[in-house]
Amino acid sequence: LELKKSGFIPDVMMAHSGWGPGMYLKDVFPDARYIGYFEWYYQPVGPDVAFMKGEGTRSEDELLRTRGRNAPILTDLAACDYGIAPTNYQRSQFPPILADKLKVLHDGVDVATYAPKAGAKLVLPNLDLSGAREIITYVARGMEPYRGFPEFMAAIAEVMRRRPEAHVVVVGEDRVAYGKKLPDGDSWKKRMLAQHAFDEKRLHFTGLIPRDQYLKVLQASSVHVYLTVPFVLSWSMMESMSAGCVVLGSDTDPVKELIEDGKNGLLVDFYNVQAIARAIIRVLESPEKFQEIRQAARRTIVENYSAEDIYARKERMFAGGEW
């Protein structure tokens, strides 16, 4: 309102839907084009909830709150001139009558930054793995079932037992970002460390780290594990592909939109801990056999998700042209 009072009238407005920041844009600036950004449509029993084991039955309160989370999303869909969703899978979660208003356009990956580095060694301020020959990497906002953290930890316990030189680097916070919260003082990291036997001298938790350090982790990765229930795809998976990682991903729909098993990555059953462990070991045993997969992974991102190309499309979109 203050901008309008000052005489400012935008040509284009864009807002991330979900928490309501764009709900009144069209009321304040009715003549400006409004482009909504839509990540997810919530369902009482969505694909993420239906997929997860051991979650139990949702209470009536949880079901109603889930439905209520769509209120600002639906308001934005009704008001916007059109919307964008970052992936086809995420667009497919919206009812068909609403999805017709959405186009798919990802945010894009900085492929010049997230690029392979030949002979990369991992050295961080508090971690020196310059002498490590085998580095297994895992990245997520939080350590939780939504991103397969329990399955990953169970798998690497087996891998570390069978590969005495393998190191594991986990990037992310010891918290739940998406799923059900645990009681105060409890965490999935604590549970997994208590449940499995690890050589903790070879298991490294970095916490959140700056992007330049995160890039070094990806560039030094021997195999990068990305597991997710059917939910929003993590940008980290795409950045790891751009950096030329061998990505071992879960055989779930958001991952399969980008990765074809044996072509530009590897796919494995989310819940099959032994299969995850075997796949990791297969890459560690014969890294030279996976060079084509590394190259194909990067090519997938460069050709389809390069930020430079996508921002050119966004410029045309903002100008009202074809994109």
Q: Is 79 helix (H, G, I), strand (E, B) or coil?
A: helix
Q: Are residues 163 and 290 in the same domain?
A: yes
End-to-end CA distance of the chain: give it in Å, rounded. Answer: 31
Domain CATH number, residue 257: 3.40.50.2000
Let me know whether 283 and 188 are in one domain. yes
pLDDT tens-place string over residues 189-237 = 999 999 999 999 999 999 999 999 999 999 999 999 999 999 999 999 9
In a domain, 240, yes or no: yes
SS3 266: strand
Distances (CA, A) of 86 to 17, 103, 201, 221: 13, 9, 39, 26
Secondary structure string (H, E, C) spanning 212-232: HHHHHHHHCCCEEEECCCCCC
Looking at the structure, tell me whether residues 206 and 97 fall in a common domain.
no
Say how far apart CA 69 and CA 58 lie, in whole Å: 15
Q: What is the mean pLDDT of residues 24-40?
A: 95
| Orientation of helix 291-304 relative to helix 235-242, angle to 10° | 120
Whole-angstrom distance, CA of residue 148 vs CA of residue 268: 12
Confidence of residue 55 (pLDDT cuts 50, 70, 90): low
Do 15 and 99 sit in the same domain of this protein? yes
Residue 116 lies in a domain: no
CA 256/CA 74 separation, integer angstroms: 28
3-12, 47-56, 90-99, 310-319 — which is least confidently predicted? 47-56
Q: Is residue 184 part of a domain?
A: yes
DSSP codes joined into one string, 131-172: T-SEEEEEEEEE-SGGGTHHHHHHHHHHHHHH-TTEEEEEEE
Distance in angstroms (rounded) separating the CA atoms of residues 3 and 308: 31
Instruction: Residue 189: give the domain boundaries.
Output: 122-304
219 near 113, Cβ under 8 Å?
Answer: no
Residue 300 has pLDDT above 90, yes or no: yes
Based on the fold, state whether residues 247 and 285 are members of the same structural domain. Answer: yes
- Position 83 in a domain: yes
Q: Are both 40 and 128 inside the same structural domain? A: no
- CA distances to 24, 143, 156, 273, 311 from 175, rounded to whole Å, are 33, 6, 20, 22, 33
Number of domains in the chain: 2
* 95 and 185, same domain (yes or no): no
Maximum distance among all alpha carbons in the chain?
68
**Do the domain assignments include residue 115?**
no
Whether residue 233 sits in one domain with residue 131: yes
**What is the DSSP track for 286-315?**
-GGGGHHHHHHHHHHHHHH-BHHHHHHHHH
Both 157 and 267 in a single domain? yes
Residue 138 inside a domain? The answer is yes
Whole-number pLDDT of residue 321: 77
DSSP string covering 178-213: SSPPPPTT--HHHHHHHHS---TTSEEEEES--HHH
| Shared domain check, 298 and 207 | yes
Same domain, 233 and 214: yes
Is there a domain that residue 296 lies in? yes
**Quick check: 193 and 156 in contact, CB under 8 A?**
no
Evaluate if residue 131 carries a pLDDT over 70.
yes
Pairing of strands 127-129, 203-207: unpaired
**Predicted local confidence at residue 89, as pLDDT:** 97
Task: Look at residue 160 and tell me if it is in a domain.
Answer: yes
Residues 175 and 99 in one domain: no
pLDDT, one tens digit per residue, over 69-107 is 899 999 999 999 999 999 999 999 999 998 989 999 999
Separation of alpha carbons 306 and 145, rounded Å = 30
**In the predicted model, what is the mean pLDDT of residues 152-180?**
97
